[in-house]
A and B are shown apart, each in its own frame.
Chain A
Amino acid sequence: ANSVDKNARPLSLSGHVGFDSLPHQLVNKSTCQGFCFNILCIGETGIGKSTLMDTLFNTNFENFESSHFEPKVKLRAQTYDLQESNVRLKLTIVNTVGFGDQMNKQESYQHVVDYIDTQFESYLQEELKIKRSLHNYHDSRIHACLYFIAPSGHSLKSLDLVTMKKLDSKVNIIPVIAKADTISKSELHKFKIKIMSELVSNGVQIYQFPTDDETVSKINTAMNGILPFAVVGSSEEVKIGNKMVKARQYPWGVVQVENENHCDFVKLREMLICVNMEDLREQTHTRHYELYRRCKLEEMGFTDTNPESKPVSLQETYEAKRHEFLGDLQRREEEMRQMFVQRVKEKETELKEAERELQGKFEQLKRLHSEEKSKLDEKRRSLEDEINTFSKKKAAAELLQGQSFNTNANLKKDKDRKK
């Protein structure tokens, strides 16, 4: 918007100064640096996202067909370096993989939202770095989101509405009707009206081509009324007349991609690239990214003004947070220490218990042993007693025997004497 600074007084120049070359200087610098543009394509598998990208940028981006059996929605990003005359473009195309294929599609949009947020987060991190290099930074934030609507001819699917509603405050959404060659002209007209009214009634904010610059307001206003663009993509060429044109050949006729009577492809290319690429980038940076940044910083507890609407020093907030954080740390440390002490006590008691048990067992065993020992001792004594008795008896018996022998001997002796 034109802003007249109240502090500046207008002055007229009496001659040619030369600063009218400034836009040229600015453009020169940007040309040297190169440009960056990132497109996100959301749509069901097989709806023609890759083909449309190939057609749009006149290149074969070498995408392979995706399977319909992805368990979760994934995002695949690929970066290409394109050049046209002296303009170098670093184009990143992000495609959803497996969108709309799952039985339960509740989580479908979440991955997309997460991806977009991740790119914002990277930029925010770089911006907050102490030593940063923003002009060298490869901006990966999504500048335009092409949402591919299936050409049912009736209305939007509930998945479409839910997804677009989740994304409209994060990215510039440009809805397109894919494979538009399956819809007749009259059906298409009704379809477009139905889609737009559904979007409006559900409060979905799609990207509006800017109408504040007189140079382009007329064409942009017209195009805003033709949304969503009904597109057909094709990398194949068919000979029409004496030219080769991008087209799809059917038995009943040839759909020419760049024929504005056949589809809105040319309009899409015009709007997306030729007229509004810079505005898409600017909106992403000044609106969507700023919103993300504001929410993220507020989430972390930073404010510009405290409840009494006085400017809050970030310093104070930081100090408060730091105290909180340190206090939290201390508390956790205390907790851990206490838990540790507790555990040690428990273990100690356990061990003491075990010791006592062992001791008890030992005592018991000792008792058993001494009992057995005394039993054995008794037995030994009794045995000894028996042995004693026996030996006494033996001795006595021997004595007797000896005596009797002696007697016999004596008798014999006597006999001998008597003879």
Chain B
Amino acid sequence: LSECFNMSAPPHPQPPAKGASHAAGDFSYVGIDAILEQMRRKAMKQGFELNIMIVGQSGLGKSTLMNTLFKSKVSRKSVVSTPEERIPKTIEIKSISHDIEEKGVRMKLTVIDTPGFGDHINNENCWQPIMKFINDQYEQYLQEEINIDRKKRIPDSRVHCCMYFIPPTGHCLRPLDVEFMSRLSKVVNIVPVIAKADTLTLEERDFFKQTIREELRANGIDVYPQKEFDEDSDDRMINDKIREMIPFAVVGSNQEYQVNGKRLLGRKTKWGTIEVENIAHCEFAHLRDLLIRTHMQNIKDITSSIHYEVYRVRRLNETNGQPNAQPPNTLVNPQQANGVAAQHQVLTHEM
């Protein structure tokens, strides 16, 4: 299955030869397709941004998974020893950015950690600070966008993807999972994963996944890739296959072991070594392919053209009736509580 959407070696089409070498005998060639190369060049020069949020109880291997995904220490495990000290009193949102580069492609990766989520005795409303953070990023982008003098490239701190870690109970989703995903799937792309999947056998895993899928459906939770955003039938075909497989059961590891003469990432136990990137062992490779190699651009596009636009519409309609209303769930400097509808309104008045 990974063959379907594994693009580990994307083909680079030959750039059209410059100068007269292509003119010989090729009269119909204009050069319009050269724009693809131009776009690629521009993208390489500008670099990319990606913001991933990881949500889940402590001890589910979130940091390890991040490090495995990006093959580097993007998440530093906290150095404090006791669990009591490790779990903050309130849910914190910790955002760390890294500049990474691969084959000339530069990316600013921001990992947003949420320590404290689900770790307290009373976890009611634990989704609130996270929702607020996501909306704050939308707000920040919106403010910059409506500035008169605005930056050439608006810095994008919007959360593109929220990875939700489900503990491997093997039964079903917990109320906390349902509550969180049902609320957040409306504002951000949620990618649920079954953490520490090496505690489940293949049968248990399949059963668990099926139960989760049913529960998601029953609760009206639309996780990435959302059915309603499929663009055409090709898209739908590819995404249907993915939807049959989520949530991915993953195992993370920073350690390499010697297996069959090769150095592989894995977890060594007395009864065997789990190879992280072996799809027979766990679905890490599928997750990596989905998130990074094939659908990364799509995830960003859905965030900017759908989730962000929904936020913007809501915000503009809010301040329409009550000019002094502050947008809910955001911590905005009152000085900068811009009436987003203002420009639009005045424009329509003037027209």
- A interface list, Cβ under 8 A from B: 2-5, 7-32, 35, 56-58, 82, 84-87, 89, 124-125, 128-132, 134-135, 213, 215-216, 219, 243-246, 258, 260, 266, 269-270, 273-279, 282, 286, 290, 293-294, 297-298, 300-304, 310-311, 313-315, 317-319, 321-322, 325
Contacts and interface: CB of A to CB of B under 8 A. Distances in A.
Contacts of A286: 152
Contact of A325 (B31, B296, B349): B349
Contact of B337 (A15, A132, A313): A313
B298 interface: yes
Given A219-B18, A270-B31, A304-B149, A25 B294 contact: yes
Contacts of A245: 27
B79 interface: no
A14 B68 CA distance: 10
B73 A314 contact: no
A354 B39 CA distance: 83
Nearest to B336: A311
B344 A128 contact: yes
A266 B297 contact: no
Interface stretch (B40-48, B178-186, B207-215): B40-48
B33 A300 contact: no
11 contacts: A13-B100, A14-B72, A19-B293, A82-B30, A85-B33, A125-B347, A278-B41, A294-B149, A314-B340, A315-B337, A318-B345
A28 B5 CA distance: 14
A273 B37 CA distance: 11
Across the A-B interface, give the 5 residue pairs with the lowest CB-CB distance, nearest first: A318-B342, A314-B338, A8-B97, A278-B38, A25-B297
Contact of A23 (B44, B292, B301, B347): B44
A277 B30 contact: no
A59 B149 CA distance: 41
Nearest to A286: B152
Interface string B87-112: 00000000001111111111110100
B102 A5 contact: no
A12 B106 CA distance: 11
B105 A20 contact: yes
B30 A315 contact: no
A29 B301 CA distance: 10
Contacts of A278: 35, 38-39, 41-42
Contacts of A318: 323, 339, 342, 345-346
B221 to A, nearest CB: 25
Contact of B25 (A19, A124, A243, A301): A243
Chain A CB count within 10 A is highest, among B16, B32, B101, B324, for B32
Interface stretch (B55-63, B160-168, B192-200, B309-317): B309-317
Contacts of B106: 2
Contact of B346 (A7, A14, A290, A321): A321
Contacts, number: 252
Chain B interface size band reads 35 or more
Given A23-B44, A314-B146, A314-B339, A266 B71 contact: no
A317 B336 CA distance: 12
Given A10-B98, A29-B301, A21 B7 contact: yes
Interface string B273-302: 000000000000000110011111110010
Contacts of B349: 325
Interface in B211-249: 231
B99 A4 contact: yes
A58 B34 contact: no
A30 B33 CA distance: 12
A302 B105 contact: no
A18 B38 CA distance: 22
B82 interface: no
Interface string B62-92: 0000000111111000000000000000000
Given A84-B33, A266-B20, A276-B38, A29 B297 contact: yes
B350 interface: yes
Given A11-B72, A20-B103, A275-B38, A87 B33 contact: yes
Given A278-B35, A290-B152, 14 more contacts: A5-B108, A20-B10, A20-B105, A22-B107, A22-B296, A23-B39, A28-B297, A29-B297, A30-B36, A30-B39, A213-B45, A266-B20, A300-B350, A314-B340
Contacts of B350: 300
A274 B41 CA distance: 13
A58 B30 contact: yes
A245 B69 CA distance: 55
Contact of B343 (A277, A297, A310): A297
A269 B31 contact: yes
B147 interface: yes
Contact of B34 (A27, A30, A130, A274): A274
A132 B309 contact: yes
**Most chain B beta carbons < 10 A, residue from A17, A213, A278, A311:** A17
Nearest to A57: B30
A278 B47 CA distance: 16
B260 interface: no
Contacts of A297: 148, 343
B150 interface: yes
A132 B344 CA distance: 12
A15 B316 CA distance: 45
A219 B20 CA distance: 13
Nearest to A312: B335
B43 A17 contact: no
Contact of B100 (A11, A23, A84, A213): A11
Most buried by B among A56, A274, A277: A274
